[in-house]
Amino acid sequence: MDSPQSGWIAPPPIEPLPSGAAFDKQKRRWLREKLGAIGAAIIALLAKLKAVLLLLPKIKLLSTAATALVSVGAYSLLWGWQFAVGFVVLLFIHEMGHVFALRREGIKASAPMFIPFLGAMISARSLGDNALAEARVGLAGPILGSIASAAVAVVGLVTHTGLLEALGYIGFFLNLFNLLPVVPLDGGRAMAAMAPWMWFLGFGVLAALDFIAPNPVLLIITLFAGFELYRRWERRRNPTPAQTAYYKVSPRNRMLVGAVYIGLIVVLAVGMHFTYLHRTIG
């Protein structure tokens, strides 16, 4: 029979703690190791943050490219990939008109983001310091978009390329629709400097279109327009000094905005007429 102590292993002897200079040296070494590890972790974190900051512009571009590809895929289901690519390019050019105008006003704007069947959008902290600046930003999209649509349409008519003619037609239509005088469409931005009461007329047209040609996309635009119209008109009913100053536009500038607005409508209507007429005959 084994004794009670059988199999028991004696614990190792306890080393005495260092004292005096040896203890201080050991403590300093321990602190250096810990601080070194913490410092290395901080440097690694800063390096990662720097990499993220450097990648932000690329991330924005990737977001634009990704949403553009999604939109191309969605439109391809209806019209084929070639028309879908051209349509998204025309949307991009239209939105870049707004981006360029905002930059001229000293306002940073985001890259265009595409929303299938709703078009595209940009974001910015404001549309300018006053209604005239808002009108310039609003009309810049249809101006650049109309130039691009006209270029495509002319090439299509000259070369008898049906795809380009159709793209020119849809581009004209897109920019003309955006000139409806209701916020948040581009025409509503122009009306901020010309005649804000026209917002009600534009909203009435949208509401009528909802009954004549029911469409989910059109209904969404109408709902947004109704909300924005209510919000803006409430502010105009009880204006602050800043609001009054915002909508103060000289008669000369009102006439200039009006001339550009009406000129765009005429050009786009003529463009639609010729591209549609040629397409139906030939």
Alpha carbon 4 to its chain's center: 82
The pTM score is: 0.75
Q: What is the pLDDT of residues 186-203, one digit of tens each?
A: 999 999 999 999 999 999
pLDDT at 244: 86
Write down the mean pLDDT value for the chain. 81
Q: For residue 176, tell me if it sits in a domain.
A: yes
Q: For residue 152, tell me if it sits in a domain.
A: yes
The residue with tokens 């049906």 is: 162
Q: For residue 233, tell me if it sits in a domain.
A: yes
Number of domains in the chain: 1
- DSSP letters, 246-273, are HT---HHHHHHHHHHHHHHHHHHHHHHH
Report which of residues 233 and 179 the model is more confident about.
179
Whether the predicted pLDDT of 238 surpasses 60 = yes
Task: Count CB neighbours of 244 within 10 A.
Answer: 10
196: containing domain: 24-281
Q: For residue 117, tell me if it sits in a domain.
A: yes
Q: What is the pLDDT of residues 112-166, one digit of tens each?
A: 888 888 888 888 888 888 999 999 999 999 999 999 999 999 999 999 999 999 9
Among candidate residues 145, 141, 210, the one with its CA nearest the CA of residue 171: 145
- The interaxial angle of helices 186-194 and 131-159, nearest 10 deg, is 140
